[in-house]
Structure 1
Amino acid sequence: MSGRYSYLINGHLDGCLSSEEEFELNTWLKADEAHIVLFVESVQLHNRLREVVRPQMAIAPRNGRDNSTYPNTWGGGMRKKLVYAACVCLAFALFLGIYLIPTSRSAASELEKLIEKSTLRIDRTYVIRNLDEEPESEQENRPPIDQAKLYVRYPDQFVLERKQTDDKLFVTGCDGMRSWSAPPNRTVRVSKDLSRFRGGVPGNQQGIPFVDLQKDLQKIKEAYNLKLLAKNTKGWLGLHAEKKSQEYRGPAEVDLWYDSKTGLVYQMIFNGLPRARGGPRSVSVDLVELKQLPPDFFHHESHHESNRKVVEDD
């Protein structure tokens, strides 16, 4: 057993692990039965478990006679086996009662941390990928979302760049005061309704566009059941959210992969997106860059020629 997991076991028994460390130990235990055996052997040496086991070690007199009158068949190796078996039972009880039950509570606390840390002041750039097996069919005014770029600035500014089959960019966005749509070679439309042109952003049609991350995480807290996922190969923690009821708007499932220390969400996966207007059922939104963009980047004027016609929709 590595020093890391020895530290986690001892820290758990001393009650001094963080929720992330508890989850790490939980994941390690569930990964292999041999890990549970190692856990048992470590627990045997710990004072707390020895205090629980000690009553099991006492052997009651039989038929009113002292145990010393019997051969020592219950001593030595037999006693060690019984104590070990008791430890195994107790360890499994600890495993089931301590590790498996608090998972939802830990997931809720992790989501709270993400909400607290979601007001990142640096601009983020994401790439959106279609996870469905079949490719999207391009529709008028609705180019494919696969390989689109999403730029986000806290709290509610965004630019979504989608590429048409002719490689021309169809750009929509919001500068915090007005939303806008700038299709190639056509009229630019502007609206005071900040959600007017969010239709292309994954999850928007069902109420979770993840442009204002803090508000959208609050929606997940209210409308979804939560479950922690084990760390992936990149060391990110995962949070799985499944919608409680069809009464709530939002994708059927959302997976968030994030750095627990910084609260930075590196990947969002949406499953069960609406298909009434076409588009994929499942997409991923992957963080590719943290970089401060020009001050006027989220204004429509930065994304089309100056001589383009602009129309107010309001």
Structure 2
Amino acid sequence: MSGTPHDDHPHQREARDCAEAVVAEQLEHPDGQYAPEFDERTARHIADAQLVEALLRHHHATPDEHEAQEHRIQRVLGALTLDPAETGSAGQIHTTRTRGRIRTSHRVVRHLTRWSLAAAVLIAASLWWIATPAPSMAASTLDMAIEAADRAEDRTYLVTIESRPDAPINFHQEARLDTRGGDRFVLRRSTPLGRDLVFGSNGRETWIISPLGAVTVHDGPELLDRWRTRREAMLPFHNLREALGFLDSRYDLRILGREVDDAGRELVHLQGERDPEAGLGPTEADVWCDARTGEVTRLMLLLPEEWSPSGHAARVTFELQDTTPLPLDWFEPEGQV
């Protein structure tokens, strides 16, 4: 029931006891003096323990307690902006303990005060992060991925299109997608003729090199739009930046979690479900992007049946393969002939 006190969670009690034990150990240092290692190792333990306790308290709090926590966070952040003279001198504070009646020195109090404020800021920031609505966090993550895709950096992706496991007809095709920023790309796929079909854009023009070697160049995106919708192409000609833009405008987003890839990067897993009123587009999309840089390492799109080559729902997957810089003219038709 809202506003009803409840027992601490066991892990919350454990975290609080840990913090109290560390502080007690420091206060019992010989002669009640400041321990040499306090400002490094011990202070981090105190901050960590207080953070864990605060997170658990926030997780198990009632609605009324959430409101009180928000008030305390704002009060702490506001107090940090005050001049120390307004809050009183730390040297006037004295602490006694029943056992041993140990009085802490002014030096210990000053360091405890300093690290308590640091821990309070950390806890306040963490609780603010937890309290941020999930859709806002998902949208911010996607914005970071779009910004990364717009940076003029070279990336190579393996693009795979395949039928779903339950499809009556199995098919699997691959292509290579090179990108530089959000408007330059080259998509290359093999054909039965033994030569590749190459499709790309230099940011000003779109162009196609057929398996027979013919080059077609067109100003603007019309060529892209025409070839992207042709069923005989057998592969949606996606621009990675365009796919992310679809998610931004037509999908309900949520963060599914975080994971670490084989390269040791922390990835954020973002999922988007198409708004039924948003028109055509993949029914579902999953994005894995670097939590630090926003770089997309994997993008998986679930296509509706009307977009699939076989008439059955299929998946298109982009997998980051390489970030080696490409030749300067790579995104011009001349660079592919």
- Report the TM range for the smaller structure's normalisation: 0.5 to 0.7
Q: Which has the higher contact order (CA 8 A, sep 6+)?
A: 1
Which secondary structure state, in structure 2, belongs to the residue aligned with residue 197 of structure 1? helix
Q: TM-score, normalised by structure 2?
A: 0.54
Q: Does 1:268 align with 2:236?
A: no
Mapped partners of 1:287, 1:91: distance in 2: 36
Unaligned stretches of 5+ residues in structure 2? 1-8, 21-55, 67-126
From the superposition, tell whether residues 121 and 298 of structure 1 become closer, same or farther in structure 2 (CA, over 3 Å): same
Counterpart pick for 2:321 among 284, 288, 304: 288
For 1:9, the equivalent position in structure 2 comes to none
Inter-partner Cα distance in structure 1 for 2:289 and 2:205: 30
Q: Determine the structure 2 residue equivalent to 1:250.
A: 281
Does residue 115 of the first structure (1) align with residue 146 of the second (2)? yes
Change (3 A) 1:247 1:218: closer
- 1:74-113 matches, cutoff 5 A: 91-93=59-61, 102-113=133-144
Confirm or deny: 8 A CA contact 2:185 2:239 kept in the other structure: no
Q: Quick one: distance in 1 between partners of 2:151 and 2:304? A: 26
Distance in 2 between the 1:271 and 1:245 partners? 15
Identify the residue that residue 62 of structure 1 maps to in structure 2: none
Aligned Cα root-mean-square deviation (Å): 3.7
State the match for 1:154 in structure 2. 181
**Deviations 1:188-210 (Å, cap 9, x if unpaired)?**
22211325136459xxx9x9933
| TM norm structure 1 | 0.57
Alignment-derived partner of residue 188 in structure 1: 215
Between Structure 1 and Structure 2, the one with more helix by share is 2
Aligned length: 216
SS in 2 for 1:147: strand
| Aligned mates of 2:324, 2:211 — CA distance in 1 | 26
Q: In structure 2, give the amino acid aligned to 1:239.
A: L
Q: In structure 2, how many angstroms separate the alpha carbons of the residues matched to 1:181 and 1:118?
A: 23
Is the counterpart of residue 42 in structure 1 residue 15 in structure 2? yes
Letter in 1 for 2:272: A
Aligned to 2:224: 197
Runs of 5+ consecutive residues of structure 1 not aligned to the other structure: 1-35, 48-87, 137-143, 305-314
Structure 1 residue 128: Cα displacement: 0.8
Residues 275 and 281, structure 1, Cα contact 8 Å, conserved in 2: no
Instruction: Work out whether residues 144 and 293 of structure 2, in 8 Å CA contact, stay in contact via their aligned partners in 1.
Output: no
**Displacement of 1:233 after TM fit?**
4.1
2:161 equivalent among 111, 123, 130: 130
Give the aligned partner of residue 12 of structure 1: none
8 Å contact from structure 1 (residues 251, 274) kept in 2: no
